[in-house]
Structure 1
């Protein structure tokens, strides 16, 4: 949906697939989104919730410009500046590495299998031109699964984005780690692990060279209470240079999904995903705009209804006009 500042729907894209978590506008005005392919949903219980399987570019009317599919694709994908697409993917960890995975609840592997993330760069014709495997570059000794999580996944990636120099920034929720991946060598020149992070989402590069991160906050190792916050991190020093959290910690808490966007006016748009709440705050933390999604749905395998929003973006009038003409 495209929703105006009053909460009214002004445009709806009709898709060939149900959304696989989220989409965003490209510079040319087309919509890029991950679609959920309703096949192979039984790898493990949570897989059906975050699997995608298709990445597409569509015009204002929902007409497909191109489409690529991959059975391992989940959570996130981005169109790169070179015109290719990077997909976040998941497959079984080589069995000989299982014993090196630390943390998590003992005995919670899925049929003796632990899954881990990998990245592929794909042309819009579906040709794989680059691959990166997390288990070849992350450190098993320090990248430890949160003790309360199942061992069906080691890393649980939830975001991949392009850094200004062409490298990639990736978020791994289960090990509370954000890492920059060198696309040329595969090495990790920088990473930030928890604490200070706790099962974060949506690390987003900023024009000043910093990273904006939604730090979800369940199972914090450095604080007894679970709470969410949005932090701006300087990768040169790994210092937190700005932070937003609610004055009452428990009033702002989204243990899953969620994200944040720095706006042109210097404010920050925050998606508190588990409550379907999207709000704008100033640098001083004042809430100046708020929207709560009225769209509730039944998630398979879970009781009741929810209005979760995985991620949200504020679009400028120029971006909307460009999308209309595209």
Structure 2
């Protein structure tokens, strides 16, 4: 008999696990395995890879198709650097845009970039970056395990807007706008190396910026003109959330990871839709037995044109689609495992579904650009 497979996810089943063609949104799903060395996959509803890109960097950490059909990618550069961020698994370093064939149209680099970057409507690039927190603020930051700073230092996030030729035109620093006492590290057991730990960006239609901070379990909206925080949601209800996604109805979709809930004794994940004006949760997806759906890190959700929601349970490479009533209509587990810091894994930072029309536009970029 062959030896028993030692990776639990492989024993449980990989690839396509369910597909209700009558109710799943027809299209193609895009994802880049975190340990895949920069290989990006586009699969059909049957789980077949219909196209791949080979990026010059490993994911650092996500990518998506732009409105004009190009592929925007955050890459992880390899540097021998004394910078704190160079030793972190969520490091980035580069953002680029590629056409359908994988040809790089432009690339910018920033040594402090991590987690996420997006292409703004004005054509510029917005990056999450990390910097050392001013010394006088370290003792003021509340929460976390005392003495777990990095050599007595703490780090916090700032945003940088760059042109595609690398010129910095705007920046925004968390420590100039957040309160170290009020915006405390949410989990008592968390390390105090990083105060805020930003992990997601989005641009609203009016140009304002949405930012998610994992360590303080907080999402904010920044007025793009003044730099002021004009909206904030923290813990509870949030817990280590990722991927703030504006919806056409004006609400915000979030993957609420749940590693340290202040209002619940159990760790579990859920996807929530939040109405901005009232801050009420107006829709959510979570398992009836809550512990059966849990990704403590990474992950995202996308509202599809038919009203369904595509969910990436990132830590386990599980991509699935549910109806508005929470019924599962499609499920796929990333079969592309790679070597990570703690062994073989199939983690996926984010996944997105695109229509045939959007993929047609992406194919045209290989000729038009």
TM over 0.5: yes
Structure 2 residue runs without a partner (length 5+): 1-40
SS at match of 2:190: strand
Task: Tell me the equivalent position of 1:177.
Answer: 218
1:137 aligns with 2:177: yes
**1:162-241 to 2 correspondences below 5 Å:** 162-241=203-282
Q: Deviations 1:100-136 (Å, cap 9, x if unpaired)?
A: 1111111111111100000011000111110000000
Work out whether residues 41 and 48 of structure 1, in 8 Å CA contact, stay in contact via their aligned partners in 2.
no
Structure 1 residue runs without a partner (length 5+): none
SS at match of 1:208: coil
Q: Deviations 1:203-249 (Å, cap 9, x if unpaired)?
A: 10000000000000011110000000000000101000001100111
1:63 aligns with 2:83: no
User: Match for 1:275 among 313, 316, 319?
Assistant: 316
User: Match for 2:91 among 51, 63, 80?
Assistant: 51
Work out whether residues 137 and 180 of structure 2, in 8 Å CA contact, stay in contact via their aligned partners in 1.
no
SS at match of 2:229: coil
Task: Tell me the equivalent position of 1:35.
Answer: 75
Task: Tell me the equivalent position of 1:248.
Answer: 289
Work out whether residues 85 and 112 of structure 2, in 8 Å CA contact, stay in contact via their aligned partners in 1.
no
SS at match of 2:50: strand
Work out whether residues 96 and 104 of structure 2, in 8 Å CA contact, stay in contact via their aligned partners in 1.
yes
Question: Structure 1 residue 295: deviation in Å?
Answer: 1.1
SS at match of 1:68: strand
Give the RMSD, CA atoms, in angstroms: 1.2
User: Match for 2:159 among 105, 116, 119?
Assistant: 119
Question: Structure 1 residue 19: deviation in Å?
Answer: 2.1
Q: Which has the higher contact order (CA 8 A, sep 6+)?
A: 2
Task: Tell me the equivalent position of 2:147.
Answer: 107
Q: Could you tell me how far apart the structure 2 residues matched to 1:64 and 1:132 are? A: 28
Q: Deviations 1:55-109 (Å, cap 9, x if unpaired)?
A: 0001111111010000000000000000001000001001111111111111111
Max radius of gyration: which structure? 2
Equivalent pairs counted in the alignment come to 324
SS at match of 1:49: coil
Q: Deviations 1:153-209 (Å, cap 9, x if unpaired)?
A: 000000011011101000000000000011111110000001000000001000000
**1:63-102 to 2 correspondences below 5 Å:** 63-102=103-142
Q: Could you tell me how far apart the structure 2 residues matched to 1:162 and 1:296 are? A: 32
Task: Tell me the equivalent position of 2:46.
Answer: 6
Q: Could you tell me how far apart the structure 2 residues matched to 1:192 and 1:36 are? A: 30
